[in-house]
Amino acid sequence: MNSQYLHIAKSKTNDPIEAEMLNRIADIAHEYDVFEQSFTERVNANKSRRGEGPTKLPKSKRDTLSSMEADRSDTQNRIAQQFDAYSSPQPIVRSLYKTFYNKLPRMREYLKHYHPDDLSLGEDRINLIERFVTAMESYLEQYPEPNL
């Protein structure tokens, strides 16, 4: 979904250099989105290699997760609509930047809870977020928000 937000941002500029920079950020966002979508499968594959079964949740927890997923999808659609209303890409990039910049300390803290076999997954997640944040930071330095 983050890559979709960046494509919305790209649609707000006519500058080909800025658009290319937003494309590069969108590529990292896409890489992150794919990583997140496959995270549980990769953890379960590691568990399988250790001879453990996948995590099994009670029906009530599965129902709660399904409800949360539906809420997440609705929220993402509302955010996309809000982003579409912006006239320039900077507020979109700034919003994503702040979200992921603030996420980094928590993600680093969570590493201590990872199983040793899954630690590299957590580190890969952090590396992707760091690349994403750095790319957005560079963009915002080169293309500061216009004065309103």
Mean pLDDT of 23-37: 96
In this prediction, residues 71-90 reach a mean pLDDT of: 93
pLDDT at position 148 is: 52
What is the residue extent of each domain of the chain?
Answer: 2-142
pLDDT at 88 over 60: yes
Give me the long-range contacts of 69-74 (CB less than 8 A, separation at least 24): none
CA atoms in the 13 A half-sphere facing the CB of 16: 0
Q: Is the pTM of this model over 0.85?
A: yes
- Check residue 104 and give its pLDDT: 96
- Which pLDDT does position 12 carry in this prediction? 96
* Inter-residue contact 41 to 55 (CB < 8 Å): no
Residue 1 has pLDDT above 90, yes or no: no
The confidence score (pLDDT) of residue 14 equals 95
